[in-house]
Amino acid sequence: MSAVEPLSEMNLPEKMIDALFKAAELIRSYGGTVRLITHYDGDGLSSAGILAKSFMREGVSFHFSATKNATPSIEEFMRETSSELIVLADLGTALVEDLEALRRKRKLGVVIVDHHDTAGRDSPVMKEDFVEINPRYYDYDGTREASASTISFLLSLALRGDNLDLGVYALAGAGADKQLQEGAKGINKTVADYLVGEEMLRKEVGVRLPGESLERALYLAVEPYFPGMSGRSPAVRRFLKELGIKGEWSFEELPEEKCISLNSALYLYLLKRGVRHEIAKLMFREIYWASLHGERVDVEDVGYEINAAGRAGEYSVGVGYVLGDEESRQRARGLRQRYREEILQRMLQIEEKGGKVLQNIQYIEVDRDVYAGTLAGLCMQYLFDPEKPTIAVTRAGDE
């Protein structure tokens, strides 16, 4: 399949398509080892996997690293390599000045695939050997409408049109960045619609919680979190029994009339617990199903599994997942399960003890910084006063 074909059918801005093909040619024509650096979360590692797979198919060698720092020292990363081409994904727009300074010291081509704030710049860098691709320059909201993995997927299509199979991971990365919570929008929607049209994805709307059974799914539920029920087996069993639903059923086995009853009951449960309507309704979401390794999977679940690998510092597992390594996939699933259990236990503790409420803010103390952002967000949505900002405080060393 021609690389032009899928991109031309997606109705993307012409200047953005030009930038994608310019970046693809810069990568394709470089004969050495590409230095690939991405952020460490689900979006960053999905981007890394998409680009790595694309490079492998093109015969392009690469050296990959992930970083927790959104503005890492590029000079430090490049110090021990002779590579003359660096590709940055899920970061880079904030590093343009640093990259230009480094380019004054050594020969270096640059490709940036990012979706973060442009820091006031209204046009991307577009030079013969420096290409910046960020959807914000083309009037897309990089927080809700396009992730780095979505743009990495478009770049993979610019390299070769038969990289369509990597689109699953584009939406997985977007999901990991919470961009699909209110439905796919912008470039995410463009990609999703195209893949549905190509029968590579199937779209449904409904409620789905990860878990091998309904009882297990509700017990482990953290997003949404059900105060008084999540993490409490007796409460889960009582809830399902009142609805006449067997706990051992899976979501897929649930009869349609029972599915409607369950969805309504869960929604009302949250409202009665003081959760705002706009948060409670996020349960009802677009679900994109894909076939991976002969298994039907929810692409958001895939994103959360890759994200769990990143949060655990196992970056190669996240990338290996995208590359099709079964051991990496199973490892990521186990890490995600453990991450959910860790979040659940901390949410139960916070629900029991409450947070610290001040005049204008509320805060929680968290034992590990890796959980801080997730816990603060969940507490603000499901436990605390939604009108006050919620802050998670962690200890740094002895402080």
Q: What is the pLDDT of residues 23-60, one digit of tens each?
A: 999 999 999 999 999 999 999 999 999 999 999 999 99
Q: What's the pLDDT score for residue 3?
A: 58
333 φ, ψ (degrees, to nearest 5) = -60, -45
**CB-based contacts of 179: which residues, under 8 Å, 6+ apart?**
143, 144, 145, 146, 147, 185, 188
**HSE-CB for 307 with a 13 A CA cutoff:** 23
Q: What's the pLDDT score for residue 254?
A: 86
Q: Which residue from 2, 20, 219 is spatially nearest to 111, judged by alpha carbons?
A: 20
Burial 94-103 (b: 16+ CB within 10 A, else e): ebbeebeebb
Question: What does 103-114 look like in DSSP terms, one character per residue?
Answer: HTTS--EEEEE-
Any idea what the Cα angle at residue 90 is, between residues 319 and 53, rounded to 5°?
A: 35
Report the alpha-carbon distance of residue 347 to residue 339 in Å, rounded: 12
CA distances from 237 to 220, 241, 342 (A): 13, 6, 22
Q: At what angle do helices 326-353 and 299-311 cross, to 10 degrees?
A: 80
| Size of the chain, expressed as the number of residues it contains | 399
Report the alpha-carbon distance of residue 275 to residue 260 in Å, rounded: 20
Place of tokens 């949250």: 270
Report the alpha-carbon distance of residue 249 to residue 211 in Å, rounded: 10
List per-residue pLDDT tens for the chain, 399 residues long: 555 589 989 999 999 999 999 999 999 999 999 999 999 999 999 999 999 999 999 999 999 999 999 888 888 888 878 899 999 999 999 999 999 999 999 999 999 999 999 988 999 999 999 999 999 999 999 999 999 999 999 999 999 999 999 999 999 999 999 999 899 999 999 999 999 999 999 999 888 788 779 999 999 999 999 999 999 999 999 999 999 999 999 888 888 899 999 999 999 999 999 999 999 999 999 999 999 988 899 999 999 999 999 999 999 999 999 999 999 999 999 999 999 999 999 999 999 999 988 888 999 999 988 889 899 999 999 999 888 889 999 876 545
Q: What's the pLDDT score for residue 397?
A: 56
**CB-based contacts of 185: which residues, under 8 Å, 6+ apart?**
141, 144, 145, 179
Q: What's the pLDDT score for residue 232?
A: 97
Report residue 391 as tokens: 């802050």
Q: What's the pLDDT score for residue 208?
A: 79
Report residue 224 as tokens: 């949404």
- Provide the 8-state DSSP code for 291: E
Architecture of domain 4-201: Alpha-Beta Complex (3.90)
Question: What does 323-390 look like in DSSP terms, one character per residue?
Answer: HT-HHHHHHHHHHHHHHHHHHHHHHHHHHHH--EE-SS-EEEEES-GGGHHHHHHHHHHHTS-TTS-E
Pairing of β 130-133 and β 126-127: antiparallel
Place of tokens 């396009």: 146
Would the CA dihedral through 295, 300, 301, 306 be positive or negative? positive
**pLDDT, tens digit, 9 for 90 and up, residues 110-138:** 999 999 999 889 999 999 999 999 999 99
Q: Which residue from 109, 75, 122, 79 is spatially nearest to 95, judged by alpha carbons?
A: 75
Helix (H) or strand (E) run with residue 146 in it: none
Listed by start position, the domains of the chain span 4-201, 208-283, 354-399
Measured from the Cβ of residue 56, the count of other Cβ atoms closer than 10 Å reads 12
